[in-house]
Amino acid sequence: MALRGRVLKRGKEPMSWTTAIILGTLIYFMAILVLGQLPSLIIYKFDQYVAEIIEFSKSLPGVGETGLTTLWIRTIRDIVANT
């Protein structure tokens, strides 16, 4: 309960310039890391789980009964890699 009270009290105080700059810099670097790592993770998973992606795509509306072909999977992977 004391921690909650301290957080609420701290939340009502104005933020100093130093704290704002440090917090903004941390948020900026975290966003760069997350946004830079996400496409790499998608590419890695698309390369590793081709059969599972084909099976999953069969249940998607607008995709044929056979699911996505390996050409479509490579195309999606390349779009993610180049954007």
The C-alpha atoms of residue 38 and residue 80 are separated, in whole angstroms, by 10
Question: What are the pLDDT digits (tens) for 2-51?
Answer: 666 666 666 667 778 998 899 999 999 999 888 888 888 888 887 888 88
Domain span at residue 40 reads 2-82
Q: Per the structure, how many domains does the chain have?
A: 1
pLDDT over 70 (residue 68) = yes
The C-alpha atoms of residue 24 and residue 21 are separated, in whole angstroms, by 5
Task: Choose among 37, 38, 66, 40: nearest CA to 53.
Answer: 66
Please state the pTM of the whole predicted model.
0.48
User: Residue 52's pLDDT band (boundaries 50, 70, 90)?
Assistant: confident
The C-alpha atoms of residue 83 and residue 10 are separated, in whole angstroms, by 41
pLDDT over 90 (residue 66) = no
